[in-house]
Copies of this chain bind each other. A is one copy, B any other.
Amino acid sequence: MWFQKEIRLPAVKRGFHLITDLLTAQLPELENYKVGLAHIFIKHTSASLCINEDADPTVRQDFESHFNHMVPENAPYYRHTLEGPDDMPAHLKAALLGSSVTVPISDGEFNMGTWQGVYLCEHRNHASKRTVVVTLQGEGF
């Protein structure tokens, strides 16, 4: 039982953004799966996906602060600099966080922990809409 769909995410400012509700609203097909997996893949190299705390917005602010510290702009060893100071750090952050997340499906819903949500991690200053490919698979009721 396979289902695949590309979803255009709204353009967001640089930072970490919860998209769990936005995804599930676009995926009414989830309710057909008793047991399965949802694979969510971002088709870009300067934005990424991860799963983390979904309750306190300061967590997401601290993500932005820390990743800026750990992967600084204008590092003297960067050679890929033509697309602006935020570009090479964006590629590195995207690789550290990853291009996809896979979430278990149980009884028609994402089976995540109480405090987990899916983050869209936007690493560019002026990004446009991002596209994700969602692939659902599993067995029905």
**Known A58-B80, A102-B102: A66·B92 in contact at CB below 8 Å:** yes
Give every chain B residue within 8 A of A52 (Cβ-Cβ).
45, 91, 94-95
CB distance from A82 to the nearest CB of B (A): 9
Q: A4 to B65, Cβ gap below 8 A?
A: no
Q: B45 to A2, Cβ gap below 8 A?
A: no
Copies in the complex: 3
| A interface SS class | mixed
Give every chain B residue within 8 A of A45 (Cβ-Cβ).
51-53, 113, 115-116
Most chain B beta carbons < 10 A, residue from A56, A61, A91: A91
Give every chain B residue within 8 A of A51 (Cβ-Cβ).
45, 95, 99
Using CB atoms, name the residue of chain B closest to A133. Answer: B104
Is A71 part of the binding interface, using a Cβ–Cβ cutoff of 8 Å? yes
CA distance A43 to B36 in the complex (A): 16
Give every chain B residue within 8 A of A137 (Cβ-Cβ).
37, 137
Interface footprint category on A: 35 or more
Q: B2 to A36, Cβ gap below 8 A?
A: yes
Give every chain B residue within 8 A of A131 (Cβ-Cβ).
113
Interface residue ranges, A against B (CB under 8 Å): 2-4, 35-37, 39, 41-45, 50-53, 56, 58-59, 61-63, 65-66, 69-71, 75, 77-80, 88, 91-92, 94-104, 106, 111-116, 119, 131, 133, 135, 137-139
